[in-house]
Amino acid sequence: MLFDAGRCVTKCQFVRLHGALVFQPGEAFQFDWSEDCATIGGERVKLQVAHTKLSHSRAFIVRVYPLQTHEMLFDAHWHAFRAFGGVPGRGIYDNMKTAVDRVGRGRQRDVNARFKSMASHYVFEPEFCNPAAGWEKGQVEKNVRDARNRLWQVMPVFQDLGELNQWLEERCIALWAETPHRELPGSIADSWDAEKPMLMVLPPAFDGFVEHSKRVSPTCLITFERNRYSVPASFANRPVSLRVYPERLVIVAEGQTVSRHDRIIDRSHRKPGKVIYDWRHYLALAIVLGPMADDGSLQRKPGALRNGAPFTEMPDIFRRLQDHMLRKEGGDRDPLGTMLRNTLTGSGWLISCPWFYTMMKALFCEQWNWRWKPGCRRRRISSTSCTG
């Protein structure tokens, strides 16, 4: 309830008495989250829905995510601004935890540092509603209700989130042309055409990752959201930085990206976590130590190449090479160092396969910055090139 001239009135009555909020072209946008379900890959999934709406033209974009986290929030802003063709001057929000660390008196807010960086990158001013006053961003609140009838009730089945988000964006833009503007002549698309030149120029996408400090396990793995991801063997037992994006994970150490993985998000706690290997991370250990090493390596463990979990997803060409080595006597005990040394030093039976030599150099030398010279101990260099 609100007070107007001593009278207690509802929010709707207050708006009717004093008129709806009026926004100039390019002045502001409104943002909100909702929750809905869709069928993804034959399974009914609960999704977090990001709604972004231009306050003047009423153009809107809807995008879905598994979670309401910082990296999802940043990604939703980028795709909305990209679809709108620019950035408005203000953003109107409720007091969501990913944007506001603490709500003070009146309009005082302690804005989250990462959210403030995103707003500074796109050069818009964030503005937050009063607590329990969602009507202050009533346009996007209405969009949440309308989307259930316009989008979710007519939604087909999709294979993945990317396909769903592509369909949502195309459907939203089609609805701009189909929906008349409530206050201006013509459709929402007509109003957007007039507002677009007033938007600020869209800069490159904000690098919207969330960073975590991790320590690599002795088995060359880091843990995130109950899943484990492999890291190159040279970083075992060492600290690294994990940069979390909506769809991928990037591991950084010594100022360089050392590993990338597709992010796995499974909200069901009834299933065990998964282990995601990159087999190249473990072959690097064999290259560094060499087949004559006596301080522990893959070659010292019988069956490592035959039954090792990281090697179950090698490309077909390496599987054929694996089968060839395993047919030899002792091939499961000392295949890696001998094979890779002979290949990368340009000697041995694989010298007759120059294409394989080139491929191995591309796979290992350039990824881990190693320089190889025949008859010399392997040593690390700062250059990203590889010379034979």
pLDDT tens digits, one per residue of 244-294: 999 999 999 998 999 999 999 887 777 788 888 887 777 655 444 444 334
In the structure, what pLDDT confidence band is assigned to residue 149 with cuts at 50, 70 and 90?
Answer: confident
Q: Which residue has the tokens 């009838």?
A: 149
Q: In this predicted structure, what is the pLDDT of residue 81?
A: 97
Q: In this predicted structure, what is the pLDDT of residue 170?
A: 94
- Cβ neighbours of residue 290 closer than 8 Å, sequence gap 6 or more: 297, 337, 341, 378
Q: In this predicted structure, what is the pLDDT of residue 344?
A: 40
| Rounded mean pLDDT, 223-228 | 92
What whole-number percentage of the chain has pLDDT above 70? 66
In the structure, what pLDDT confidence band is assigned to residue 155 with cuts at 50, 70 and 90?
Answer: confident
Higher pLDDT, 240 or 132: 240
pLDDT of 306 > 60? The answer is no
- Alpha helices, DSSP H, located in the chain: 11-18, 70-84, 113-122, 138-150, 161-178, 188-195, 279-289, 304-307, 316-326, 336-344, 354-360, 366-368
The CA distance from 27 to 11, in Å, is 24
pLDDT of 383 > 80? The answer is no
The CA distance from 218 to 233, in Å, is 9
The CA distance from 78 to 207, in Å, is 10
| Rounded mean pLDDT, 307-311 | 56
In the structure, what pLDDT confidence band is assigned to residue 356 with cuts at 50, 70 and 90?
Answer: very low
Token output for 195: 């507002």
Q: Residue 109: which of 96, 118, 122, 120 has the closest Cα?
A: 96
In the structure, what pLDDT confidence band is assigned to residue 325 with cuts at 50, 70 and 90?
Answer: low
Q: Which range has the worst mean pLDDT, 26-35, 95-104, 169-178, 321-330?
A: 321-330
8 Å CB contact between 224 and 212: yes
Q: Which residue has the tokens 């090697």?
A: 311
Q: In this predicted structure, what is the pLDDT of residue 327?
A: 65
Q: In this predicted structure, what is the pLDDT of residue 106?
A: 79
Q: In this predicted structure, what is the pLDDT of residue 330?
A: 55
In the structure, what pLDDT confidence band is assigned to residue 20 with cuts at 50, 70 and 90?
Answer: low
Q: What does each C-alpha distance from 80 to 86, 108, 113, 127, 233 come to in angstroms?
A: 9, 27, 21, 18, 40
| Per-range mean pLDDT, top range of 36-45, 70-79, 106-115, 367-376 | 70-79
The CA distance from 388 to 372, in Å, is 6
What is the layout of strands, in order, in the sheet containing 256-262? 210-215, 239-244, 248-253, 256-262
Token output for 299: 């070659």
| Rounded mean pLDDT, 102-122 | 91
Q: In this predicted structure, what is the pLDDT of residue 214?
A: 95
Residues paired with residue 239 on neighbouring β-strands, in sequence order? 215
pLDDT tens digit sequence for 164-195: 999 999 999 999 999 999 888 999 999 999 99
Q: In this predicted structure, what is the pLDDT of residue 131?
A: 78
- Give the chain's end-to-end CA distance (angstroms, integer): 78
The CA distance from 219 to 230, in Å, is 8
Q: In this predicted structure, what is the pLDDT of residue 262?
A: 93
Token output for 76: 């939703």
pLDDT of 15 > 80? The answer is no
| Rounded mean pLDDT, 208-228 | 92
Exposure on the CB side of residue 89, measured as CA atoms within 13 A = 9
Q: Which range has the worst mean pLDDT, 10-19, 172-181, 219-228?
A: 10-19
Q: In this predicted structure, what is the pLDDT of residue 137?
A: 73
**Burial category of 312 from C-beta neighbours within 10 Å (exposed 0-12, middle 13-18, buried 19 and up):** exposed
In order of their start, the domains of the chain are 12-198 (3.30.420.10), 210-276 (no CATH), 291-380 (no CATH)
Q: In this predicted structure, what is the pLDDT of residue 309?
A: 59
Mean per-residue pLDDT of the chain? 76
Q: What does each C-alpha distance from 252 to 77, 213, 249, 295, 363 come to in angstroms?
A: 25, 10, 10, 27, 19
Q: Residue 61: which of 90, 35, 36, 32 has the closest Cα?
A: 32
What are the backbone dihedrals phi and psi of residue 188, each rounded to the nearest 5 degrees, phi first? -60, -35
The β-bridge relationship of strands 109-111 and 221-224 is unpaired
8 Å CB contact between 337 and 289: yes
The β-bridge relationship of strands 28-40 and 43-54 is antiparallel
